[in-house]
Amino acid sequence: MNYQKVAKDVLKHVGGKENIKHVTHCATRLRFTLYEQSKVDNESIKQMKEVIDAVDKGGQYQVVIGNEVEDVYKNLMKEGNLEDNHNNDREDEVDNRNIFIKLLDVIASIFTPIIPVLAGSGMIKALIAIIDTFKLTNSDTAVHRILTILGDAGFYFLPVILAVSAAKKFNVNQYIAIVIGGVLLHPAFIQIVKEGKSSGEGVSFLGMPVGLVDYASTVIPIILAIWFMSFVEKQLNKFIPKAIKIVLVPMFTILIVAIVTLIVLGPIGNYLGIGLSYVFATLNVHVGWLVPTLVGLFMPLLVMTGMHYALISLGINELASKNFDPIAGPGMFVSNLAQAGAAFAIVFRTKNKELKTLASSTSFTAIFGITEPVLYGVNLRYKRPLVAAMIGGGVGGLYYGITGVGRFAQIPPGILSIPGYIGPDGFGVLIHAIIGIIIAFVVAFLISLTLGINEETLDVEEQHNASDNNQIADKDTFTGAHVNAPITGEVIPLNEVNDPTFAAELLGKGVAIKPTEGKVYAPADGTITALLDSHHAIGITSDEGVEILIHVGLDTVELNGQFYFPQVENGQEIKQGQLLLEFDSKQINDAGYETTTPVIITNTAEFDDVETIVNQTMTHGEKIINIS
């Protein structure tokens, strides 16, 4: 790699040295804080063969180089005559972070582990929709009813499923979190809600009103609940004596969190939805064309908050009173097709085979009106497709508003709902309905195709093969190797890591470990080839030629070495099991960072197979990766 040329090209494409407010680097990335993001030539950077990826993350522009980032960084400093601020304070960067983007990141990271549930359940629901359309079986048969249960379960129990991943995100007891999710779906509570609604008298707990909300398939209430639980559990652990913690901490956590959720946190989306319903009903009277535009534009966000249920009720009321719904159905229809179009474009932009499969399958289910898999699995996760979907839905909704499209029947808003737009006066509305969804799909597709995603990259294997520093010692004599766990803790798949570059395996295959102690040990015999000033990442080349990156925490380069205590130095030969680094997990977590530690084989492309052992707790020294 020509470090000087790479540095010169990167400097040019980020807008020159005048556009750089702050630049630093971690184990694999150049991290820029820029004055004007619009000056970045993102496509040119991504097309550089030395660049693995480029990521715009919460106000910070990151260029993923890989193991040779430090050499590129030094040349960048020299080429641009920049002040070396590798150890500068991170205050400027923090000020640039967008709270809304942070919120989307939290939601997306909570959904990442459950994407298989959404995708699998969504495909089953799409299968049922096809069966119903072609009347392959009656809805009252056991086959149909069981298939319906199989398709619905993953969505109905979302509060419980999300409780687990939210508990991991907020670092609280997963089993108590499951109980909180179970409270929201308990049959007795559902009955209380039904009785309260039918009587009109409501329900109270110790004089406080309980929200009469159906929490099945909801998202935000359980995330808010587990977020609140992280504060409650922490405070209880501080004040309750150790001898009785095992009983009283769970007891009071369940009591406090469940009650606050039922009275305050859970109903928030419902109350906002009622207000939103009133606003849309009023707009429909005075500026009717605007309503499907707004619904098409904001529907993905309404789904995330659960506020869309109020619109569904409004649409049903319109059908009951006027036999025509111009409010909910049309906007949802174009939004669903726009989401499908945005995700489908990713099939043509990504080189990642798993993402191609996910994007194609979830866009297929979205066409049939099942959007949770595509929303949480692709569009929200990568953000740019979400923007494309919202714009496409808004444009399609505007066309519906101008042409006066509405539905004449209550059918879930997917491609199979088209007959619901055939009115008593003929096919005029139907034709405009079809044109509208085509517009929504195509606009979203083209915008998403143009914007791409942060994970888009050149073929990773070609990138690694192009590097003259990533060759194992002797391919002909290499008979295999293994890597041991450098840290004691829970070993998880890389795709569960809250960082798209690691999760997409752009730097190589491997695992991640959630540490239970703050010590890092040598995973193999070898040599320390990289130990940054920030001490959060260690590069090792084993005696067999395996290049290992141990990245302790996510974005922890920003701590500038605080809470990290290295026990070795660059160039030092090490033995398997030797102590390399100590770190203070509590201090790192209190500073707002995750300690999840990716362990990556950065020269993955040089081997036939890298096999990982995950989803179990390991002690340092136990085998986690086999290489052949």
Which has the minimum average pLDDT: 150-159, 259-268, 432-441, 464-473?
464-473
Q: Which tens digits make up the pLDDT trace of 571-626?
A: 888 999 999 999 999 999 888 889 999 999 988 888 888 899 888 899 999 999 99
Question: Is residue 162 scored above 50 in pLDDT?
Answer: yes
Which pLDDT belongs to residue 83? 61
E strand or H helix that includes residue 295 = helix 290-305
pTM of the model: 0.56
What pLDDT band is residue 159 in, cutting at 50, 70 and 90? very high
Classify residue 194: in a domain, yes or no.
Answer: yes
Q: Are residues 42 and 187 in the same domain?
A: no
The parent domain of residue 524 ranges over 473-627
Partners of residue 579 on adjacent β-strands = 521
CATH of the domain at 609: 2.70.70.10
CA atoms within 13 A on the CB side of 20: 23
Q: Which tens digits make up the pLDDT trace of 380-398?
A: 888 899 999 999 999 999 9
Amino acid at 466: A
Which pLDDT belongs to residue 93? 39
Q: Are residues 155 and 68 in the same domain?
A: no
139 dihedral zone (left: phi>0; alpha: psi -120 to 50; beta): alpha
Classify residue 463: in a domain, yes or no.
Answer: no
Q: Which residue has the higher pLDDT, 255 or 90?
A: 255
Q: Are residues 258 and 296 in the same domain?
A: no
Q: Are residues 50 and 146 in the same domain?
A: no
CATH of the domain at 28: 3.30.1360.60
* Mean pLDDT in residue range 437-465: 72
Which pLDDT belongs to residue 210? 94
Q: Which tens digits make up the pLDDT trace of 195-213?
A: 998 888 889 999 999 999 9
Which has the minimum average pLDDT: 134-143, 345-354, 439-448?
345-354
Q: Which one from 10, 14, 26, 618 is the annotated catalytic residue?
A: 26
Which pLDDT belongs to residue 477? 56
Q: What is the residue-averaged pLDDT of the chain?
A: 86
Classify residue 519: in a domain, yes or no.
Answer: yes
Q: Tokens 């999760």 — which residue?
A: 503
Question: Domain ends where: 216, 239, 269?
Answer: 269
Report how far residue 123's alpha carbon sits from residue 368's, in angstroms, rounded to the nearest whole number: 10
* Mean pLDDT in residue range 501-520: 89
Question: Is residue 559 scored above 80 in pLDDT?
Answer: yes
Question: Is residue 266 scored above 80 in pLDDT?
Answer: yes
Question: Domain ends where: 218, 237, 269?
Answer: 269
Question: Is residue 58 scored above 70 in pLDDT?
Answer: no
Q: Which tens digits make up the pLDDT trace of 460-469?
A: 333 333 333 3
Q: Are residues 548 and 490 in the same domain?
A: yes
Q: Are residues 259 and 335 in the same domain?
A: no
Q: Are residues 302 and 265 in the same domain?
A: no
Asked if residues 125 and 150 have their Cβ atoms less than 8 Å apart, the reply is: no
Q: Which residue has the higher pLDDT, 412 or 15?
A: 15
Which pLDDT belongs to residue 464? 38
Q: How many distinct structural domains can be found in the chain?
A: 4
E strand or H helix that includes residue 347 = helix 328-349
- Does 26 participate in catalysis according to the annotation? yes
Classify residue 437: in a domain, yes or no.
Answer: yes
Per DSSP, the residues of 75-135 read HHHHHTT----TTS-SHHHHHT--HHHHHHHHHHHHHGGGHHHHHHHHHHHHHHHHHHHTT
* Mean pLDDT in residue range 472-478: 52
Going from the C-alpha of 276 to that of each of 50, 240, 311, 326, the distances in angstroms are 49, 43, 8, 16
Classify residue 276: in a domain, yes or no.
Answer: no
Question: Is residue 95 scored above 60 in pLDDT?
Answer: no
Question: Is residue 189 scored above 90 in pLDDT?
Answer: yes
Which pLDDT belongs to residue 385? 95
* Mean pLDDT in residue range 455-478: 42
* Mean pLDDT in residue range 41-48: 88
Q: Tokens 């009133």 — which residue?
A: 278
* Mean pLDDT in residue range 364-379: 90
Question: Is the alpha carbon torsion for 307, 313, 317, 319 positive or negative?
Answer: positive
Classify residue 110: in a domain, yes or no.
Answer: no
Q: Are residues 261 and 288 in the same domain?
A: no
Q: Which residue has the higher pLDDT, 313 or 433?
A: 433
Classify residue 102: in a domain, yes or no.
Answer: no
Question: Domain ends where: 97, 132, 163?
Answer: 97
Which pLDDT belongs to residue 475? 52
Which pLDDT belongs to residue 423? 86
Question: Is residue 97 scored above 70 in pLDDT?
Answer: no
Classify residue 446: in a domain, yes or no.
Answer: yes
Per 3-state DSSP, what percentage of the chain is helix, strand, and coil (rounded to 5)? 55, 15, 30
Q: Are residues 170 and 244 in the same domain?
A: yes
Q: Are residues 480 and 608 in the same domain?
A: yes
Which pLDDT belongs to residue 407? 93
Q: Are residues 428 and 503 in the same domain?
A: no
Q: Are residues 494 and 617 in the same domain?
A: yes
Which has the minimum average pLDDT: 22-36, 226-240, 262-276, 302-316?
302-316
Which pLDDT belongs to residue 183? 97
